[in-house]
C-alpha cells in the first residue's frame, strides 16, 4: 500500500522527550545535513518560565496541567482498591522539562545486571565522562573538580543550584549523627552509598536555569533547518512496507491543540524511525502499529504484524511516600514561593537575574542518603524482607534499598494553611513488583490505557516504606526546624498511642529515645502506605532490551524484533530496574543510541 506522504526525512522520532532530544541533537551535530524530524505530542518549552525556572517544577502536576499526562492505573487490592495515578511528561524535552532536577546516578553494577552485550558499565562509563576521542561527555559537573567518573565538558550542567537550604544541611548533620552513617561529598560516583550527602541538581550553576535535554541538545541547534520539531503532534502508528518501517502516521494532539482537526497525516522516513515516546507512549505506538501480543491487538481490532508478547510488559517504577511536617517560622523554605506570594517571587526573581543566589534556582531538596539497612535495622524490618535482602542486596554494598530525603517546603497539592513545612520523602529503589501498560478499547469505542502498576504486589516491597517512615520521622524530630507532624497526612495511629501525630513546640534531643510503635501502630503505617504510596515518576521497562524469547522487544542495537528500520530509544528499553532517579539513565541511553545509529547509518561520530 502506498501513502500520500506529507514530506520526507532521513530519521523520524516518534516522541520528543529526554532521550529523543539527546539522540536527535547528537546526530544533527555530527551530520547537519541529516534531515531529522521530531514529532512530539506536547507543546514547545523554549524559554518558557515554567520549564526554565527550577522552582516552578511542581506546577506541572497541578490538576488540568497540559505538560503532563495523568495515566490512571487499574484498582489494586494491594492498594486497598485504589486506582493509582502515574504522571508522565507531555512536552518537548519530556521528563527533563518537568522533573524535579535531582541528579542521581545508579551503581555501575546496575548496567552489568542487564546482561546485554555493549551495555555493560565498562562500555557506558566512557559516555558519562570524556575518554572517547570522538565524543564529548554528557555532563558538566560543576560541583567538584577532577572526579574520575564525572564529565566536565558536556551539555548537561550539574550544580548545587541557587541559595542553599539550611534544613538540608541539618538533615546531613543530624542524620549522620543519629543514624550513624558517614558523610560523603559524592554519592553519585557509581559506587558509594549509605552516606549522608549533598544532593546536586540538573541546574546550570551560572544561569540558574534547568538543564533539560530540549534546550541543551536541540533548541541550541535552531540554526540547522534540517533538525525540525513539530510540537502538538501525536504519533498514531508506524507505517510499514512489508516489514520495513517507512514512516509514521500522526494527528494533532487533543490536549495540546484541543480545537485542531483530528485528520491523519503521514511523513516518510527514508532511513529510520525511532520510537522515543517513553514507558507509556512507546509500547502504545508499537501496539497501534500491529507489533505486540495477539490478545491485546485483537481486543483493539488491530491486525498483528509481529508477534511480540513482551510489548507493554515489564513495567517498573520506584515506590514513593511524601509526608509533611510543620517547620519553624524562622527557617527558609520554598513555601512562600510555591504559594506564589508575589513580593517573595519578585524578590527572588531580582536575585536570580543578578547573582543567581536565589530560591528561583532551587528545588528545595539539597541532601539525601542512599540508604542500606544495618543488622539492627534488618532485624526490625523482619522476615518479610529477609529473602529479598539475601537474594539481591546482602553481598552488593553498592546497592541501596531506598533514598531518604527531606524537602524544605510542602510538596503537595492540598491547600494547607500558609506557613512553613518540611516534606519527608522515601523512594524505594528496586521493588520486586512488576506491572504492564497496554492499549485497550474503552467502553465508548475509543482507545484507552490498560495499566497495571503492580505497586506493592510483592509483600517485601512495603517493608522499606514502613521502616523508612519511622526512620525519617526520628531524624526530622531531631532537626532544629521540627514543629511536629501534619497529622492529616500521616498514619492514623490509635488514640493514646505514643506515635500519635500533632504540632509541637520544637525538636527532641539528639539522644532522646525513639518512638515505640505497637503492633496496631505498625498496622496503621501499613494501611497508610497502601492508601497513599505513589509513583516517583520513574516509569520504565515496557519495551525491554532482552532476548526475544525472554519477552524482549528490542535487541542490543535497539532494533525492534521482526521488522527493519525501526528502533526504540528511551527508558522503555531498560530490562531491569536501576537504583537512581532516572533522568541520568535516559541521558545515557540517548548518548549510546546516538552512537549506535551513527554507526548503522555510516555517519562519522565526532563531536
Ligand atoms: C514529575 C517528574 C519528576 C521527575 N523527577 C526526576 C528527578 O528529579 N531526577 C531524575 O533523574 N529523574 C526524574 N524524573 C524522571 C525522568 O525525567 C524520566 O525518567 C525521563 O525524562 C524519561 O525519559 P524518556 O525519554 O524515557 O521519556 P520522556 O522524557 O517522558 O519522553 C517521552 C515523550 O514522548 C511524548 N509522547 C508520548 N506518546 C507520544 C505520541 N504518541 N506521539 C508523540 N509524542 C508522544 C511525550 O509527550 C514525552 O514528551 C522525573 C519525571 C517526572 C515525570
Q: 434-449: per-residue pLDDT in tens? A: 999 999 999 888 999 9
Q: What's the rounded mean pLDDT across residues 197-203?
A: 97
99 in contact with ligand 1, CB cutoff 6 A: yes
**What pLDDT was estimated at residue 132?**
57
- Which of 13, 14, 15 has the most ligand 1 atoms within 8 A of CB, as the residue to mutate? 15
Give the nearest ligand 1 atom to 69 CA. 47
Rounded Cα–Cα distance for residues 551 and 545 (Å): 9
Rounded Cα–Cα distance for residues 230 and 48 (Å): 17
67 in contact with ligand 1, CB cutoff 6 A: no
Question: Could you tell me the domains of the chain?
Answer: 8-49+213-315+539-601 (3.50.50.60), 162-199+319-428+456-532 (3.30.560.10)
Output the nine-digit C-alpha cell for 138.
554528557
**What pLDDT was estimated at residue 1?**
42
Evaluate if residue 287 carries a pLDDT over 90: yes
Assign 131 a pLDDT band (cuts: 50, 70, 90): low
Catalytic residue status for 538: yes
Q: pLDDT for 39-91, tens place per residue?
A: 999 999 999 999 999 999 999 999 899 999 999 999 999 999 999 999 999 99
Find the 538 Cα to ligand 1 centroid distance in Å.
8
Output the nine-digit C-alpha cell for 288.
497501534
* Buried-state track 286-297, b at ≥16 Cβ within 10 A, e below 16: bbbbbbbbeebb
Evaluate if residue 477 carries a pLDDT over 90: yes
200 in contact with ligand 1, CB cutoff 6 A: no
Nearest residue (by CA) to ligand 1, atom 1, is 99
Find the 506 Cα to ligand 1 centroid distance in Å.
40
Contacts made by residues 68-71, CB under 8 angstroms, sequence distance 24+: 68/98, 69/255, 69/280, 71/280, 71/437, 71/449, 71/451
Find the 251 Cα to ligand 1 centroid distance in Å.
21
582 in contact with ligand 1, CB cutoff 6 A: yes
Nearest residue (by CA) to ligand 1, atom 46, is 90
Contact 300, 441 (CB under 8 A): yes
Average pLDDT, rounded, for the chain: 96
Q: What's the rounded mean pLDDT across residues 12-27?
A: 98
What DSSP character marks residue 91? Answer: B
Nearest residue (by CA) to ligand 1, atom 45, is 15
Evaluate if residue 476 carries a pLDDT over 70: yes
**What pLDDT was estimated at residue 443?**
86
Q: What's the rounded mean pLDDT across residues 443-456?
A: 95
**What pLDDT was estimated at residue 2?**
46
209 in contact with ligand 1, CB cutoff 6 A: no
Output the nine-digit C-alpha cell for 338.
510555591
**What pLDDT was estimated at residue 127?**
87
87 in contact with ligand 1, CB cutoff 6 A: yes
Q: Residue positions in the annotated binding site? A: 235, 537-538
Rounded Cα–Cα distance for residues 370 and 191 (Å): 11
Rounded Cα–Cα distance for residues 33 and 27 (Å): 10
Find the 97 Cα to ligand 1 centroid distance in Å.
8
Evaluate if residue 580 carries a pLDDT over 80: yes
Can you tell me whether residue 16 is helix, strand or coil? coil
Provide, rounded to the nearest whole percent, the portion of the chain with pLDDT above 90. Answer: 92
501 in contact with ligand 1, CB cutoff 6 A: no
Give the nearest ligand 1 atom to 102 CA. 8
Assign 607 a pLDDT band (cuts: 50, 70, 90): confident
579 in contact with ligand 1, CB cutoff 6 A: no
Find the 448 Cα to ligand 1 centroid distance in Å.
20
**What pLDDT was estimated at residue 5?**
61
- Which of 20, 70, 95 has the most ligand 1 atoms within 8 A of CB, as the residue to mutate? 95
Assign 134 a pLDDT band (cuts: 50, 70, 90): low
19 in contact with ligand 1, CB cutoff 6 A: yes
Q: What's the rounded mean pLDDT across residues 120-141?
A: 82
Q: Residue positions in the annotated binding site for FAD? A: 235, 537-538
Provide, rounded to the nearest whole percent, the portion of the chain with pLDDT above 70. Answer: 98
Nearest residue (by CA) to ligand 1, atom 50, is 99
Find the 590 Cα to ligand 1 centroid distance in Å.
13
**What pLDDT was estimated at residue 257?**
87
Rounded Cα–Cα distance for residues 134 and 586 (Å): 21
**What pLDDT was estimated at residue 368?**
98
Q: What's the rounded mean pLDDT across residues 524-547?
A: 98
Amino acid at each position: 500500500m502506498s501513502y500520500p506522504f506529507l514530506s520526507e526525512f532521513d530519521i523520524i522520532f516518534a516522541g520528543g522527550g529526554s532521550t529523543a532530544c539527546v539522540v536527535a541533537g547528537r546526530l544533527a551535530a555530527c551530520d547537519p545535513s541529516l534531515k531529522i524530524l521530531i514529532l512530539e505530542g506536547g507543546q514547545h518549552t523554549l524559554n518558557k518560565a515554567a520549564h526554565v525556572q527550577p522552582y516552578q517544577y511542581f506546577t506541572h502536576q497541578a490538576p488540568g496541567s497540559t505538560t503532563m499526562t495523568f495515566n490512571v492505573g487499574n484498582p489494586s487490592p494491594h492498594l486497598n482498591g485504589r486506582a493509582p495515578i502515574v504522571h508522565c511528561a507531555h512536552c518537548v524535552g519530556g521528563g527533563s522539562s518537568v522533573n524535579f532536577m535531582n541528579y542521581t546516578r545508579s551503581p555501575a553494577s546496575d548496567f552489568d545486571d542487564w546482561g546485554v552485550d555493549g551495555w555493560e558499565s565498562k562500555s557506558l562509563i566512557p559516555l558519562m565522562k570524556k575518554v572517547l576521542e570522538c565524543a564529548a561527555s554528557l555532563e558538566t559537573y560543576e560541583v567538584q573538580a577532577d572526579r574520575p567518573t564525572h564529565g566536565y565538558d558536556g551539555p548537561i550542567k550539574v550544580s548545587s543550584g541557587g541559595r542553599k537550604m539550611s534544613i538540608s544541611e541539618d538533615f546531613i548533620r543530624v542524620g549522620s549523627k543519629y543514624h550513624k552513617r558517614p558523610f560523603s561529598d559524592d554519592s553519585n560516583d557509581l559506587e558509594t552509598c549509605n552516606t549522608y550527602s549533598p544532593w546536586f541538581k540538573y541546574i546550570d550553576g551560572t544561569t540558574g536555569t534547568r538543564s533539560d535535554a530540549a534546550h541543551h541538545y536541540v533548541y541550541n541547534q535552531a540554526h540547522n533547518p534540517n533538525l525540525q520539531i513539530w510540537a502538538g503532534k501525536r504519533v498514531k502508528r508506524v507505517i510499514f512496507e512489508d516489514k520495513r518501517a517507512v514512516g509514521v502516521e500522526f494527528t494533532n494532539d487533543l490536549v495540546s491543540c484541543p480545537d485542531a482537526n483530528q485528520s491523519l497525516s503521514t511523513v516518510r522516513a527514508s532511513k529510520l524511525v525511532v520510537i522515543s515516546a517513553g514507558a507509556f507512549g512507546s509500547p502504545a505506538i508499537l501496539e497501534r502499529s500491529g507489533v505486540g501480543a495477539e490478545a491485546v491487538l485483537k481486543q483493539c481490532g488491530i491486525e498483528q504484524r509481529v508477534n511480540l508478547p513482551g510489548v507493554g510488559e515489564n513495567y517498573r517504577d520506584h515506590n514513593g511516600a511524601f509526608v509533611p511536617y510543620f517547620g519553624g517560622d524562622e527557617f527558609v523554605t520554598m513555601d512562600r514561593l510555591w504559594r506564589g506570594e508575589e513580593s517573595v517571587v519578585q524578590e527572588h526573581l531580582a536575585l536570580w537575574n543578578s547573582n543567581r543566589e536565589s530560591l528561583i534556582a532551587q528545588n528545595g531538596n539539597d541532601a539525601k542518603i542512599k540508604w542500606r539497612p544495618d543488622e539492627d535495622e534488618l532485624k526490625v524490618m523482619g522476615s518479610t524482607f529477609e529473602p529479598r535482602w539475601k537474594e539481591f542486596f546482602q553481598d552488593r554494598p553498592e546497592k541501596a534499598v531506598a533514598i531518604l530525603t527531606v524537602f524544605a517546603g510542602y510538596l503537595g497539592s492540598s491547600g494547607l494553611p500558609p506557613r512553613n513545612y518540611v516534606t519527608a520523602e522515601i523512594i524505594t529503589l528496586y521493588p520486586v513488583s512488576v506491572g504492564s501498560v497496554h492499549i485497550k478499547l474503552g467502553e465508548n469505542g475509543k482507545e484507552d490505557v490498560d495499566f497495571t502498576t503492580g505497586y506493592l504486589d510483592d509483600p517485601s516491597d512495603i517493608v522499606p516504606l514502613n521502616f523508612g517512615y519511622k526512620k525519617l520521622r526520628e531524624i526530622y524530630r531531631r532537626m532544629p526546624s521540627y514543629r511536629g507532624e501534619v497529622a492529616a497526612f500521616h498514619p492514623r495511629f490509635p488514640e493514646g498511642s505514643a506515635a500519635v501525630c500533632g504540632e509541637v513546640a520544637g525538636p527532641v534531643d539528639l539522644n532522646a529515645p525513639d518512638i515505640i510503635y505497637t503492633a496496631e501502630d505498625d498496622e496503621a503505617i501499613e494501611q497508610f502506605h497502601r492508601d497513599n504510596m505513589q509513583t516517583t515518576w520513574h516509569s520504565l521497562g515496557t519495551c525491554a532490551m532482552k532476548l526475544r524469547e525472554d519477552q524482549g522487544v528490542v535487541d542490543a542495537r535497539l532494533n525492534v524484533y521482526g521488522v527493519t528500520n525501526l528502533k526504540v530509544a528511551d527508558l522503555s528499553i531498560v530490562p531491569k530496574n536501576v537504583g537512581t532517579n532516572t533522568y541520568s539513565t535516559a541521558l545515557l541511553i540517548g548518548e549510546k543510541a546516538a552512537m549506535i545509529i551513527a554507526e548503522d547509518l555510516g555517519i562519522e561520530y565526532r563531536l
